[in-house]
Amino acid sequence: MSCCFQTVLLLIAHLVLSGWALASPTIQNSFFYHVYLNESSNKGIHFSGMKLHVDSAQPSVFSVRGGNATLQCKFWYEPEPSSPREARVKWSWVSAAGGHETDLVVAAGPRFRSFGDFRGRVQLRRDFPGDATLVLNKLQLNDTGRYRCAVVDGLEDQSTVVHLELQGVVFPYQHPRGRYHLSFLGAQQACEEQDSTLATFTQLFRSWKEGLNWCNAGWLADGTVQYPMTRPRESCGGARLPPGVRHYGRQHLYPNRYDVFCFSSLLQGKVYYLQSSRKMNLTEAQHACQDDRAEIAKVGQLYSAWKFAGLDRCDAGWLADGSVRYPITRPRKSCGPSEPGVRSFGFPPPQHKHGVYCYKLDT
Ligand SMILES: *[C@@H]1O[C@H](CO)[C@@H](O)[C@H](O)[C@H]1NC(C)=O
Ligand SMILES: *[C@@H]1O[C@H](CO)[C@@H](O)[C@H](O)[C@H]1NC(C)=O
Ligand SMILES: *[C@@H]1O[C@H](CO)[C@@H](O)[C@H](O)[C@H]1NC(C)=O
Ligand SMILES: *[C@@H]1O[C@H](CO)[C@@H](O)[C@H](O)[C@H]1NC(C)=O
């Protein structure tokens, strides 16, 4: 028995020692790495205790559609190296709609490559050694998300994150046939057709803070279904629930049907109510805009003009989707509710007569 007990003790000792031995190479490695590593063949890995830092002076950036965004990133070493070093810079991003992190830009020395949708509209600013700032041009609605600036020097690899948001407007949208007729893909398409994109949770949340109150659940970019409540009431999921953005959770993307929250931002061009002596049916309205060298405005364009250009007009007008709406920034009697907003008459029969809102690109 005692022999075996000793064996067990030895075995334990052995395990403890080998466990330690298993752990030790990493310790030795980092020691080795920091103090002795000096491979001249492998372009300048001689960190000798030097530490790489990467940071952004501005971890969240706001811009508008069509605008530019400067995503700051710089890196430096401590202690400072005696000779200049060549680090590799990589920017990658995850869309606010979710999905995988994908590469956007890689750069090493003078070499530079951009990928995918960003090709041709990104530059790496190199104003000083260690500057890895990314400049994005001609921003699109779906460029919002999390951008990562990663710097690699030999075995050192550090990164920092910058969030890009667009200033804009979130609007609820329903299918012409009424409430809850949109699948997720239908919702995506509906927003695009109205010059907008599926809203993200962050965008809906910001609109809720600004007072958006909507009693119908709508799709968001991440495939969840939610609705913003600022004034809870019984018919809207219960009066006793606190105000907030209410969540139906992630729905099956195909069978379920809801409304949608679309997002639009600054518009190039202008939206206007067409001065006309007569009211028009939908086809006449479309032609009237064309005759004015414009096109009938889309819902997202009307919201954008309301939000960014302060469009205020107490006349109902046709829009491209066959709905009739009007934008109010200065609420007054006989122009709808007491809050500013885009008022909707839904989708009247196309032979009904109304005014029309047109959209023209500035020239
Ligand atoms: C590493 O190499 C550099 C030059 O390549 C030399 O100046 C330095 O002394 C070396 N460091 C060690 C720890 O060998
Ligand atoms: C964006 O940047 C480009 C050049 O990088 C410049 O020509 C353009 O005027 C800028 N646009 C805005 C809206 O600042
Ligand atoms: C983003 O929007 C642009 C323009 O609307 C479109 O061409 C592009 O395919 C969109 N990208 C993604 C990832 O949806
Ligand atoms: C609108 O009126 C024109 C005649 O001015 C007619 O030809 C057209 O069919 C009408 N369209 C609709 C949708 O009622």
Do the Cβ atoms of 276 and 183 come closer than 8 Å? no
Report which protein residue has its CA nearest ligand 1's atom 10: 38
Q: What is the DSSP string of 167-226?
A: -EEEEEE-BTTBSS-B-HHHHHHHHHHTT-EEPPHHHHHHHHHTT----S-EE-TTSEEE
State the pLDDT at residue 250.
67
Question: Which ligand 2 atom is nearest residue 66's CA?
Answer: 13
Q: What is the pLDDT of residue 245?
A: 78
Q: What pTM did the predictor assign? A: 0.81
pLDDT above 60: residue 4: no
The reported pLDDT for the residue numbered 14 is 41
Task: Give per-residue pLDDT as tens, 107-141.
Answer: 998 889 999 889 989 999 999 989 999 999 999 99
Output the pLDDT for position 16: 37
Ligand 1: residue whose CA is nearest its atom 11: 38
Pocket of ligand 4 (CB under 6 A): 281-284, 350-351
- Give the DSSP letter string of 275-341: P-SS-B-HHHHHHHHHHTTSEEPPHHHHHHHHHHS-----S-EE-TTS-EEEEESS--TTSSSSS-E
Query: Would you tell me how many other CB atoms lie within 10 Å of the CB of residue 133?
Result: 22
Residue 24 in this model has a pLDDT that exceeds 50: no
Cα 135 to middle of ligand 2, angstroms:
10
Out of 144-153, 246-255, 327-336, least confident range = 246-255
Q: In this predicted model, what pLDDT tens digit does every residue of 128-176 receive, in sequence order?
A: 989 999 999 999 999 999 999 999 998 888 999 999 999 999 999 999 9
Give the per-residue pLDDT at 105.
95
Residue nearest to atom 13 of ligand 1 (CA): 36
Q: Residue 363 and residue 38: Cα distance in Å, rounded? A: 61
C-alpha distances out from residue 28 to 15, 24, 154, 254, Å:
20, 6, 18, 54
Lowest-confidence segment of 10-19, 179-188, 194-203 by average pLDDT = 10-19
H or E element, residue 63 = strand 60-63
Ramachandran area for residue 357 (φ above 0: left; ψ -120 to 50: alpha; else beta): beta
Residue 41 has pLDDT above 70, yes or no: no
pLDDT of residue 353: 97
pLDDT in tens, 80-106: 888 878 899 999 999 998 889 999 999
DSSP H/E element including 247: strand 244-250
**Domains in the chain: ranges and CATH:** 51-166 (2.60.40.10), 168-264 (3.10.100.10), 267-361 (3.10.100.10)
pLDDT computed for residue 11 by the predictor: 39
pLDDT-based confidence at residue 253 (cuts at 50, 70, 90): low
Higher pLDDT, 277 or 298: 298
User: Ligand 4 centre from 203 Cα, in Å?
Assistant: 40
What is the pLDDT, as a whole number, of residue 156? 84
72 CB neighbour count, 10 Å cutoff: 19
Strand partners, 216: none
Say which DSSP state 118 is in: G
pLDDT score of 187 more than 60: yes
- Residue 155: its pLDDT value, please? 80
DSSP-assigned states of every residue in 66-97: TS-EEE--EEEEESPPSS----EEEEEEEETT
Residues in the chain: 363
Q: What is the pLDDT of residue 254?
A: 59
Is pLDDT above 80 for 35? Answer: no
Highest mean pLDDT among 47-51, 94-98, 153-157, 298-302: 298-302
Q: How confident is the model at residue 260 (pLDDT cuts 50, 70, 90)?
A: very high
**Above pLDDT 90, what percent of the chain?**
63
The least confident of 23-27, 57-61, 234-238, 328-332 is 23-27
What value does the mean pLDDT take over residues 76-80? 89
Q: Whose CA is nearest to atom 5 of ligand 4?
A: 284
Q: Is 218:226 a contact under the CB 8 Å cutoff?
A: yes
